[in-house]
Structure 1
Amino acid sequence: MKFAYRFSNLFGAVYRQGNLSFSKDGNSVVSPVGNRISVFDLKNNKSETLPVSTTKNITCVGLSPDGNLAILVDEDGAALLVSLITRAVLHHFHFHKPVSSIRFSPDGRKFIVTKENVALMYHAPGKQREFNAFVLDKSYYGPYDETTCIDWTDDSKCFVVGSKDMSTWVFGAERWANLIYYSLGGHKDVIVGCFFEKDSLDLYTVSQDGTLCVWESNTELDGLVLHKRTSQREEEDDEEQRDEGEDGEPRGEVIRGKAEAPKDEGKTKNVRYKQMSKHKRHHKHKSNVFFSKNHYFHVVPCSISDQRIASVAMNSSGDWIGFGCSGLGQLLVWEWQSESYVFKQQGHFNNMASLAYSPDGQYIVTGGDDGKVKVWNTNSGLCFVTFTEHTSSVTNVTFTSSGFVIVSASLDGTARAYDLHRYRNFRTFTSPRPAQFSSLAVDVSGELVSAGAQDSFEIFIWSMQTGRLLEVLGGHEGPVSCLCFSPVQSILASSSWDRTVRLWDMNDSWQTKETLRLTSDGLSVSYRPDGQELAVATLDGEISFWNPHTATQTGSIVGRHDLQMGRKETDKITAKQSAKGKSFTSLCYSADGESVLAGGQSKFVCIYNVKEQILLKKFEISCNLSFDAMEEFLDRRKMTEFGSLALVDEGAGDGDGVHLSLPGVKRGDMSSRHFKPEIRVSSLRFSPTGRSWAATTTEGLLVYSLDSSLVFDPYDLDLDVTPASIRKQLRLQEWAAAIVLAFRLNERALTQEVLETVPHKEISVVCGSLPDVYVEKLLGFVAASLERSGHLQFYLTWAQTLLMLHGQKLKNRSGAILPTLQALQKSIQKHFDDLSKLCDFNMYNIRYAVALSKQRGMKRAAEEEGEEEDEEEEEELLSEGMSEASLEDVGVAL
């Protein structure tokens, strides 16, 4: 139960490819992210990645009109029916071919799927449970080339399909007597958009060259007439048409369109279209198009982003437009009326290299190969600041102990410090000679910054206050791979490729305190949170544990076989042989120091118990076959008589078809026409609260957390510990006994009910009478409840009373309860930030109201003063004996 971590969220990737979709209310946008989908709540400024995934990258997403269901289709045509309410997979299906587009009908009863040159209409799944949720109704053939886009009429009676053969086809969803199919031409390029007008059969079609054609129908939607079967022969013809496809599945009723329009039957006139106008837009770049039926306008976006826009969508009200840019991994939501961004997020352009948690666990900072440093909010899942000062890959990032300063190291030869109050780069640390920094560490006080060079084998120490270089530590005979400061004293541990770990004393003339000899090259080093143990990952796949005070090895774990490397397409050896040369490249202790988290060039992340030196759990971070090195064995479908298809050089003559990369190339090769990124874990960190851990991978920043609502973990359970007995103690007002029983049963909802039943004035008495073993449990529960509860003063009173009454006992076990205190600090800090913003807003409003009232008071005083002067003048004139007529003349003059 302790390691029941589940996938929680995905940061750092907001859009990859496929189509964007808005929710029914228009406040959320659904974006495909690799083989997952993310839901971005624009109103509450939060993001959530669903815990469902396809086997390959998603290319199409179809959203039901009520927003409860989504159909996800990957590159191979495998589909998942997902409930957006329960976040669960309801049905698996395979279309056997790549799908170009998918669209639900407005009434939600059917949906259209287009693949190759056919449009397939399925019955949408209903509320009743069915063995087959996708039932094929009709197959529509008409275009000669691949289909590109779909649109429905508002009453779901007809739909239109655009194609690459420059034609547009209108089909009837039912067997209409006057509309079976209709073909429209008039374009000279691929159709990229086709749209029905609101409550009409009139059409707009747009081609890739920017040509817009407006088509008018001679029939209204109410004029469609149902077809009546007149003979037995027609029914026999229908049965003949219900044949089976190439894959053996029934194709339902088959409707084959022809170039010429169908003939009129009897007195019923067929629906016909007439081209009313044609507009040409002159531009050089390919463009996307969308249409709002509420506002009747078209937009062809060209200059919203620097890169080509891959997908466009508009919300139901027509106010917001969503843009997805696959080249940059960017997602934009634009409000066209105010010409401003509602939402603008972008992940790292290249791979993420490292991450670090803030001391309270509220923020995560990441550094990437694109030279950017991004800070993410763990509650909302969104990036709120990006630093772009580095000119090369960022190799390491970390927070200082205060949590308000971020330090990063880069291959550009600089280490930089950023202020999270003013969002600026306030320190830049450089070396006397240019060096590429591959590792970074900041001491507990935040005063010393150290960075290791991979070319000069030196370690540089700077002062955070002055920015001056204090010392250059030499002694390593290979690149410095990792640095780590002790959490309790000023000692720096450095691992290197020279098979040593050196401990440097920062207080004693920067001298080497100890040298630990390793069996292989050191790749990563990490201190236990209490500073009493050191873990080192080496190139031979081992994790060794050392006592830093005595410089003796206390244990080791052979983890090479736990990595389970996959076989790359171009590998000529098996995955088992390849795994012998692999190792863990990132290490991290858990918050309580009892276990260690390890990851490397594999899709697996392992958790080991340090004391027992055994594997506790393995996490498979991805099942996406669009990445390389995912499968352990070769795919037989890709094997030829000459060997693997990936190793066959098909372009020996002109070199156009070469798929082999140059030796040593890891990311992309200009000589290669095809590239699949390799799955790997570059960095791992446990949250200071101990409730979650994060990993930077090829997919992005994955966050795994404990879902306490799904875990039943009773403590000291007995037959008498039941919900009925707990509520009986509540009725007897035995508050302490009820709390103890609730924690023994360990049901969150029941514990919350008991706690919130206790009167406010009885909290101090209850806290004083609790046994010691339940004090920590209650403190942890209060910390978790405070994060999401609205009863701030109530839970803060619990936390304060527990800490005041049991502070000394908790201090003696500070190492064990540190994650609980970190979680409490995170919850309090979150509410402090929210309330401070609200108070500032209210304070400025009050100041404005006071200033406004003062201004009005001064104006009113001036008016009253003017009236008094007028009355005095009247009295003076009356005293001089002037008549009323002359008084009126004076009034007019005034």
Structure 2
Amino acid sequence: MEVVALVAVTVLLGGIVVLLALWGRKGKEGNEEEESAEKANGHAVPEKPTKKQKPQRPRKEKVKPHSFSHPLLASALKAHSGSISCLDFSSNGKYLASCSDDRTVRIWSTKDFLKRENRCMRANVEMDHATHVRFSPDCRSFIACLANGDTIRTFKMTKKNEAFIFSAVPEDFPKRHKASIINIGMAETGKFIMSASNDTTILIWNRKGDVIATINTNQVANAYASVSPCGRFVASCGFTPDVKIWEVCFGKSGEFREVSRAFELKGHSAGVCGFAFSNDSSRMATVSKDGTWKLWKTDVEYKKQQDPYLLFTGKWSGREPCRIAMSPDGRVVAIASVCDITVYNAQSGEMEEEFKSVHGDVISDLAFDINNRYLVSTGDRVICVFHNTAGYRATIADMKDKLKKATSQGTKDRLQQQIKEAEEALEAVYKEKN
């Protein structure tokens, strides 16, 4: 009986499986017939859903680096991976400092400018990045303005494993500005540090990070401010059509006394964009929104109410933003307008050189080296180093003019030697490029 029952169950299950198979086949054939009928009647048949394919990400096109070449381009310094915002030459002329939003400050050797490989020292700016950098008088340290902290950090040179490195001191200066800092500077005397923000505030600090004086420029908004190369003055320009200069006074024993108004440069008819000093602070150059640049004699007895002399007014057809630089000997003025640079003879006002589309972004800084040999600029990730041929020509013309007026043989011999050296340097530049 058990065997019979087992056989009966097996036959029943087999029959059910056969019936299900036949029913599925019939349903499939029915669907195919329905699809054929739909197609015959001209109706679209929806496709069976398939697995969705992930959309392919569009490939990012590589941005081509900006390309610039010129016969007077001595070198292009490349090491930063971010945009460079500031340049500064050391007072001994041996080094160039540059800072970038890649959180580094690079220290370049000027003697390597003409070499194929330009090596540099690197200082990391932890937890921030520097917008401005300035060497100390002894060139063994530098200060940097922090972008996010809006304050100042000091870096000192130390020796590690037979190599020199720059490392930050433990504490930054306290934050005292209520607006963004637009520039910093350190007096060549080493007695004070200056910081200026884009409101109307200039702060004078000691080297320890204490504010010893506050200046209100009353210029609506500061556009630029700096310390004079002699280390005595602080100057600023802004919305108003003048430049104001203050003297930072110290006692005989080195103690701070006061900040007093020295003199002003008045003559522009619109706001002043920037200014620059000659190395001995006896000359200043200014550039304004009124389309002119001016050269001034500032070596005056201002304590006796003597005003600076306007030596020359030149025209420029550039656009903002702009920057101005003066060669240390006061013979050459360079103006950067957006991405272009124009070089003028400071005595005649004649245009000497013109460099178009130097950088892929707005030129952020412009400076001459202390020896009048180079003009450097930056605005992207590259520092362009130009031969200062305009400076050599201006030196030759100036020395020849003085030679005609010289009376003593010793003076004539010295002038002739200077003319010869400038002519040889100029010839070497053109010979190298040809």
Q: TM-score, normalised by structure 2?
A: 0.63
- How far does residue 462 in structure 1 lie from its aligned partner after superposition? 0.8
Percentage identity across aligned positions?
16
The alpha-carbon distance between structure 1 residues 601 and 510, as it changes in their structure 2 partners (threshold 3 A), is: same
- How far does residue 398 in structure 1 lie from its aligned partner after superposition? 2.1
Q: Per the alignment, in what secondary structure is the counterpart of residue 259 of structure 2?
A: coil
- How far does residue 596 in structure 1 lie from its aligned partner after superposition? 0.6
- How far does residue 780 in structure 1 lie from its aligned partner after superposition? 7.7
CA RMSD of aligned residues (A): 3.7
Per-residue displacement from partner, 1:32-51 (whole Å, max 9, x unpaired)? 96437xxxxxxxxxxxx997
- How far does residue 775 in structure 1 lie from its aligned partner after superposition? 4.4
- How far does residue 506 in structure 1 lie from its aligned partner after superposition? 0.4
Alpha-carbon distance in 2 for matches of 1:433, 1:403: 27
Question: Match of 2:80, as an amino acid?
Answer: H
The alpha-carbon distance between structure 1 residues 390 and 525, as it changes in their structure 2 partners (threshold 3 A), is: farther
Per-residue displacement from partner, 1:677-735 (whole Å, max 9, x unpaired)? x543221111112221110023611111269xxx9xx99xxxxxxxxxxxxxxxxxxxx
Alpha-carbon distance in 1 for matches of 2:131, 2:289: 19
8 Å contact kept, 2:375–2:388: no
8 Å contact kept, 1:410–1:436: no
1:537 aligned partner: 287
Unaligned runs of 5+ in 2: 1-60, 159-164, 250-256, 301-306, 398-409, 427-434
Alignment of structure 1 residues 311-322 onto 2, 5 Å = none
- How far does residue 591 in structure 1 lie from its aligned partner after superposition? 3.1
The alpha-carbon distance between structure 1 residues 348 and 583, as it changes in their structure 2 partners (threshold 3 A), is: same
- How far does residue 782 in structure 1 lie from its aligned partner after superposition? 12
8 Å contact kept, 1:390–1:410: no
- How far does residue 510 in structure 1 lie from its aligned partner after superposition? 0.7
- How far does residue 514 in structure 1 lie from its aligned partner after superposition? 2.4
Q: Per the alignment, in what secondary structure is the counterpart of residue 704 of structure 1?
A: strand
2:334 aligned partner: 597
Matched, 1:606 2:342: yes
Matching residue within 238, 246, 260 for 1:496: 238
Alpha-carbon distance in 2 for matches of 1:777, 1:553: 28
The alpha-carbon distance between structure 1 residues 390 and 614, as it changes in their structure 2 partners (threshold 3 A), is: farther
1:559 aligned partner: 316
Alpha-carbon distance in 2 for matches of 1:585, 1:410: 23
1:511 aligned partner: 260
Question: Match of 2:316, as an amino acid?
Answer: G
Question: Match of 2:142, as an amino acid?
Answer: I
1:821 aligned partner: none
8 Å contact kept, 1:34–1:699: no
8 Å contact kept, 2:246–2:261: yes
8 Å contact kept, 1:588–1:685: yes
Q: Per the alignment, in what secondary structure is the counterpart of residue 353 of structure 2?
A: strand
Matched, 1:686 2:368: yes
- How far does residue 487 in structure 1 lie from its aligned partner after superposition? 2.7
1:361 aligned partner: 93
Q: Of Structure 1 and Structure 2, which has the larger fraction of its residues in strand? A: 2
Matched, 1:772 2:397: no
Matched, 1:445 2:177: no
Alpha-carbon distance in 1 for matches of 2:186, 2:154: 11
Alignment of structure 1 residues 453-532 onto 2, 5 Å = 453-454=197-198, 456-464=199-207, 466-488=208-230, 490-507=232-249, 509-517=258-266, 518-532=268-282
8 Å contact kept, 2:223–2:237: yes
8 Å contact kept, 2:78–2:382: no
Alpha-carbon distance in 2 for matches of 1:371, 1:452: 22
Q: Per the alignment, in what secondary structure is the counterpart of residue 772 of structure 1?
A: helix
8 Å contact kept, 1:17–1:34: no
Q: Per the alignment, in what secondary structure is the counterpart of residue 681 of structure 1?
A: coil
8 Å contact kept, 2:242–2:271: yes
Matched, 1:425 2:168: yes
Question: Match of 1:388, as an amino acid?
Answer: V
Alpha-carbon distance in 1 for matches of 2:322, 2:72: 28
8 Å contact kept, 1:536–1:545: yes
- How far does residue 370 in structure 1 lie from its aligned partner after superposition? 4.1
Unaligned runs of 5+ in 1: 1-15, 19-31, 37-48, 54-344, 564-581, 628-677, 716-767, 785-894
Alignment of structure 1 residues 100-115 onto 2, 5 Å = none
Question: Match of 1:391, as an amino acid?
Answer: D
Question: Match of 2:334, as an amino acid?
Answer: L
Matched, 1:546 2:296: yes
Question: Match of 2:272, as an amino acid?
Answer: G
2:144 aligned partner: 408
Per-residue displacement from partner, 1:363-398 (whole Å, max 9, x unpaired)? 211122444322223314123213313625x33222
- How far does residue 520 in structure 1 lie from its aligned partner after superposition? 2.0
Alpha-carbon distance in 1 for matches of 2:200, 2:134: 21
Q: Per the alignment, in what secondary structure is the counterpart of residue 128 of structure 2?
A: coil
The alpha-carbon distance between structure 1 residues 397 and 497, as it changes in their structure 2 partners (threshold 3 A), is: farther
- How far does residue 430 in structure 1 lie from its aligned partner after superposition? 3.1
Per-residue displacement from partner, 1:283-337 (whole Å, max 9, x unpaired)? xxxxxxxxxxxxxxxxxxxxxxxxxxxxxxxxxxxxxxxxxxxxxxxxxxxxxxx
Number of aligned positions between the proteins:
318
Q: TM-score, normalised by structure 1?
A: 0.32
Question: Match of 2:95, as an amino acid?
Answer: Y
Question: Match of 1:772, as an amino acid?
Answer: R
8 Å contact kept, 1:356–1:365: yes
8 Å contact kept, 2:274–2:286: yes
1:756 aligned partner: none
Per-residue displacement from partner, 1:61-97 (whole Å, max 9, x unpaired)? xxxxxxxxxxxxxxxxxxxxxxxxxxxxxxxxxxxxx
The alpha-carbon distance between structure 1 residues 430 and 536, as it changes in their structure 2 partners (threshold 3 A), is: farther
Alpha-carbon distance in 2 for matches of 1:441, 1:683: 14
8 Å contact kept, 1:372–1:390: no
Alpha-carbon distance in 2 for matches of 1:610, 1:706: 13
8 Å contact kept, 2:80–2:381: no
The alpha-carbon distance between structure 1 residues 584 and 528, as it changes in their structure 2 partners (threshold 3 A), is: farther
Alpha-carbon distance in 1 for matches of 2:313, 2:103: 36
Question: Match of 1:556, as an amino acid?
Answer: T
The alpha-carbon distance between structure 1 residues 554 and 771, as it changes in their structure 2 partners (threshold 3 A), is: closer
Per-residue displacement from partner, 1:172-221 (whole Å, max 9, x unpaired)? xxxxxxxxxxxxxxxxxxxxxxxxxxxxxxxxxxxxxxxxxxxxxxxxxx
The alpha-carbon distance between structure 1 residues 437 and 514, as it changes in their structure 2 partners (threshold 3 A), is: same
